[in-house]
Amino acid sequence: MILRPKIALYEPDIPQNTAAIIRTCSCFNVMIEIIEPCGFMINDKRFKRVVMDYLDEKMIKFYKSYNDFFQTKKKQKGRIVLMTTKASISYTNFKFKSTDTILFGRESAGVPEKIHKLVNQRLRIPISYKKRSLNLSSSVAITLAESLRQNKLI
């Protein structure tokens, strides 16, 4: 079995973004992990409109809380890489591993400080200083593509 990175979403807010991320992960054969609570229901019509037929429930794992997520990851001994606008290291200056879980925060608020303290790797996507941030689904696609490229998985 070829190991592939995983994408994790911390309490996602926007159904369309989560659906677009699921489509991206499906196209690259990458697991997506969702840390609940979500700001929407999976049967939301906005979610269904974007996810279309890309929803493969075998590729999605739900965690009831961030504690559940971090306890599971600790047992698996994999790295958690947090993507955040608050990081100083660019994702292009980082060596991704095929076993990484790449964590993204909520669209409305990122992740709280308690989550920052639980990870050792924090990265950012450099953008114009005049702008606040990229769309979450765009950030996932950019970072995932770089991780897959570095690990020769695409």
pLDDT tens readout for residues 100-117: 999 999 988 899 999 999
| Tally of domains in the chain | 1
Report the C-alpha dihedral over residues 2, 64, 47, 12, rounded to 10 degrees. Answer: -90
Does residue 1 fall inside a structural domain? no
Task: List Cα–Cα distances, 150 to 21, 53, 58, 113, 144, in angstroms.
Answer: 20, 29, 25, 29, 10
Its pTM stands at 0.91
Mean pLDDT for 106-131 is 92
Looking at per-residue pLDDT, the higher value among 40 and 23 belongs to 23
pLDDT score at 78: 85
pLDDT tens readout for residues 79-102: 999 999 999 999 999 999 999 999
Q: Which CATH number fits the domain that encloses residue 108?
A: 3.40.1280.10
